[in-house]
Amino acid sequence: MVLNRYPWWKNVLVIIVILIGFLYAAPNLYGDIPAVQVSGSNATIPVNETTINTIKNALQNAHVNYKDLQQEERNLLVRFNSTDEQLKAKDIIQSALGDEYLVALNLAPTTPNWLKSLNAMPMKLGLDLRGGVHLLMQVDVDSVIKQRIEGDLNGIAQSLRTERIRYSGIMRQGEGGILLQFRNEDALDNAYSYVNSHFNEFTWTKKTSGGHLDLQGELSPIAIQQIRQDTLEQEMNTLRNRVNELGVTEAVVQQQGASRVVIDLPGIQDTAQAKNILGKTATLEFHLVDTEHDARNAVGGLAPADTKLYDYHGQPVLLKNQVILRGSSITSASSGFGEDGRPSVNVRLGGGGESLFTKTTAENIGKPMAVVYVEVKSTPKIVNGKKTIEYQTERRVISVATIQSALGNSFQVNGMSSQEESRMLALLLRAGALAAPVTIIEEREVGPSLGKQNIHKGVTSVEVGFILVVIFMALYYRGMGLIADLALGMNLVLIVALLSLLGATLTLPGIAGIVLTVGMAVDANVLIFERIREELRNGAGIQASIHAGYERALMTIVDANVTTLIVAIVLFSLGSGTVKNFAVTLTIGLFTSMFTAIIGTRAIVNWLYGAKPVKSISIGI
C-alpha cells in the first residue's frame, strides 16, 4: 500500500481547480474606466446599428473622443478616457437620441472580450469601495393601512346593501377599525354572521350596552403585518425598476426593519438625479369633468356631492371623484411633443383598468376629461422632541380635453409645463407608482477618491497579513512552511475567483473577512505539521508520519471549521448588509482554505515526498 500518493484523477482535479481559480480571478487585475450607458426606455425601443451610428456622429460633430463602443444585450456602453469627456458625452448623447433612450453615467470594467466570453467578470465592489450614494428611506406604511380600511368600508357597505341588511351608520374607528351601527338586533346578528364569514381579516365584536347596537371590527395583527410586508415588497420592486432606469447594475435594494428600505447605488455619479427619481411619488389620475354644475358657484363654498374643485390655468373646474384610470394601469410611457408643440407624454396601457377607461370614454364622447397630476411630498419635522414625517398630497390639473372617441390602449397626455417635467413623469410612470409615499431620512455619499482609498487600505491589510503569516510559516516550519505559504496564496486566488463567479459584492467588512481567513487558513497546516512532528519524535518513519499527520488531524480541522461555519451562517441570517458581506467572504474562505490547506498541500507533499525513499523532510524539528 502506497501511503502518500494521490490517484491520477485527484491530481488532475487539483490542477483543474487551480487553473479555473486563476482564470476567474484574472478579470480583477483590470480596472474600471468612465462610461456612458445607453438603453431603450422600454423593451420596444431597440439599441441597434442606427443607435450606434447616431451616437458616433453626435460625438464626432461635438469633437468628443471616446475609447470604444460596445453593445451588451439591450445596453450600449460608450467608454471614455476621462471623466470630463464622459460628462460632456452624456448631454450630447441624450440630446441626439431623445427621450426614448435612457442615458446614464457609470463605470465600466476593462475586462478583455475573451474573458467575458467565459463569463469571467471582476468582483462587484460595494458602496464603500467604489463610491456612490447610500439612501435610507422611510415608507409610510400607515397610509396603506388607512387606504385598506377605506376600501373595506366601501366594500362592507356595498355588500350589506346587496344582502339587504340595513345599518344606520358605518365609519372608521381608530387606526385599523370599523364601526357599524344598527337600529335592531336582527340586523346586528345578520351583519355579524355575514362579515365574520366574508371579512374574516377583521376581529368582530358586538356591543349592545347603553342602548347602542354596534358592531366593531379590528384588523387582526396578522393582517396588519401582511399588509406591511406586501407594501414593502411592492415598494422595493418599484424602486428596483427605478434603479434600472438609472442604469445602475450593482445596486442593492433591501428591507431594513418594519418600514424602511435601504438603497445602495455603487458607482453612480449623478446623485441629484438619483434622489429625485427614487424619492419622488408621482402618478396620474383621469377624471371626468362635472358639466352639470357651474364651477364658479363652488368657489368659496362647498362643491357638489361626489365632486372636487380644482384650479386649471386660473379658472375653476369641477371634477368627479371617480377615478376612471390610475397611473398603475400604465405599462409604457415616453415623453414627446403634442400637435401644439408643447411637451406631452405618450401612454400605453396594459396594467389593468383599461376596460373601464375605454367604456367610460366611449359613453362620454363630446364631454371633457381631466388629467390630474398627483404628487406626495414629505417633510421631516420634530414634534415634542421626536422626529416625525408629515405627508402632503398635491393635486393639480395638467390637462382638460374633450373626448373625441373611445380611448384604447394608446393615447397622449398633454399639459406639461416643460420637457423636463414630461420626461420625469414618463420615467416615473414606466417604473410604476410607489405603493406608499417614501421619505429619504438618511443620505450618505461616498466619493470615488474615498472608495479608492478604502480599496488601497483593504488591499494593504490583506498584503501585510499575508506577508507576516508567510514569514512566520517559512521560519517556523521551513520547507513545509513554504508549501503552506503556497497554498495560502492559492487560497486568496480561489476566494477572489469565487466572489467574482458568484457575483457577490465586496465591501470593507468583506475585506475584513478575507484578512481573518488569511490568519485562519494556516491553522489547519499548523495542526497537520505539529502532528507530523510528533510522529517523527516518536520514531515513526517519514512516510508514516506524513500519512498520520494528515489523517489524524483531519477531524480536528473539520470540527473547528464547522463551528466557525455555524457562526457565519447565523451572521448571514440575522445580520445587516455589511455583516452579511463579512459572513459571505468568511464562509467562502472556510471552504477554500479547507481545500488548499488539506488537499492542496498534501498534493504538493505527495509530489515531493510520496512513494519514494526519503531520508529527511524540512519541517523545522
Tens of pLDDT, residue by residue over 232-275, are: 887 887 787 777 666 565 677 888 888 888 888 776 656 666 66
- DSSP per-residue string spanning 443-474: EEEE-HHHHHHHHHHHHHHHHHHHHHHHHHHH
Can you give the pLDDT at residue 269? 59
- Confidence at 282, pLDDT banded by 50, 70, 90: low
* Residue 475 CB coordination number (10 Å): 10
Q: What CATH number has the domain spanning 284-407?
A: 3.30.1360
Can you give the pLDDT at residue 2? 52
Buried-state track 379-406, b at ≥16 Cβ within 10 A, e below 16 = eeeeeeeeeeeebeeeeebbbbeebeee
Can you give the pLDDT at residue 1? 39
Mean residue pLDDT of the chain comes to 81
d(CA 121, CA 240): 23
Report the phi/psi class of residue 445: left, alpha or beta, with left for phi > 0 and alpha for psi in -120 to 50: beta
H or E stretch covering 204:
strand 202-207
Can you give the pLDDT at residue 212? 79
Helix (H, G, I), strand (E, B) or coil at 274: helix
d(CA 85, CA 62): 11
Residues 411-422 have a mean pLDDT of 68
Q: Could you tell me what percent of the chain has a pLDDT over 90?
A: 6
pTM of the model: 0.62
pLDDT tens string 366-391:
888 888 888 777 666 666 767 676 76
pLDDT tens string 134-170:
888 888 888 778 877 877 887 888 888 888 888 888 8
pLDDT tens string 511-523:
888 888 887 888 8
Q: Is the pLDDT of residue 20 over 90?
A: yes
Which runs of consecutive H residues, i.e. helices, occur in 503-576? 508-537, 542-574
Q: Name which residue leads in pLDDT, 42 or 601.
A: 601
Q: Does domain 8-26+447-609 sit in CATH 1.20.1640.10?
A: yes
Q: Name which residue leads in pLDDT, 451 or 93.
A: 93
Fold of 142-224: Hypothetical Protein Ta0175; Chain: A, domain 2 (3.90.1070)
HEC secondary structure over 15-78: HHHHHHHHHHHHHHHCCEEEEEEEEECCCCCCCCHHHHHHHHHHHHHCCCCCCEEEEECCEEEE
Q: How far is CA 593 from CA 451, 479, 491, 607, in A?
A: 28, 19, 6, 20
Domain boundaries, the chain: 8-26+447-609, 31-110, 142-224, 284-407
Do β-strands 132-139 and 260-266 pair in parallel, antiparallel, or remain unpaired? antiparallel
Can you give the pLDDT at residue 272? 62
Q: Is the pLDDT of residue 431 over 60?
A: no
Q: Name which residue leads in pLDDT, 73 or 604.
A: 604
Name residues whose C-beta falls within 8 Å of residue 22's C-beta, 6 or more positions apart in sequence.
Answer: 493, 497
Which runs of consecutive H residues, i.e. helices, occur in 163-269? 185-198, 221-246
Name the residue among 92, 94, 116 with its Cα closest to residue 27. 116
Can you give the pLDDT at residue 187? 87
Of the given ranges (291-295, 360-364, 454-458, 510-514), which has the lowest mean pLDDT?
454-458
Name residues whose C-beta falls within 8 Å of residue 205's C-beta, 6 or more positions apart in sequence.
Answer: 215, 216, 217, 218
Task: Quote the radius of gyration of the chain (alpha carbons, Å).
Answer: 33
- DSSP per-residue string spanning 425-436: HHHHHHH---SS
Q: How many residues are present in the chain?
A: 621
- Confidence at 494, pLDDT banded by 50, 70, 90: very high
Are 463 and 403 in contact, with CB atoms under 8 Å apart? no
- Confidence at 540, pLDDT banded by 50, 70, 90: confident
Highest mean pLDDT among 268-272, 275-279, 289-293, 488-492: 488-492
pLDDT tens string 90-145:
889 888 887 677 777 777 788 888 888 888 888 887 777 777 778 888 888 887 78
Can you give the pLDDT at residue 4? 76
Are 311 and 397 in contact, with CB atoms under 8 Å apart? yes
Extract the C-alpha cell encoding 235: 415598494
Fold of 31-110: Alpha-Beta Plaits (3.30.70)
Residues 426-439 have a mean pLDDT of 67
Residues 587-596 have a mean pLDDT of 91
Q: Is the pLDDT of residue 453 over 80?
A: no
Can you give the pLDDT at residue 16? 94
pLDDT tens string 349-367:
765 567 777 888 888 888 8
d(CA 174, CA 393): 22
Highest mean pLDDT among 297-311, 381-395, 582-596: 582-596
Can you give the pLDDT at residue 355? 77
d(CA 435, CA 261): 13
Q: DSSP assignment, residue 361?
A: H
- What residues are paired with 40 via a beta bridge? 101
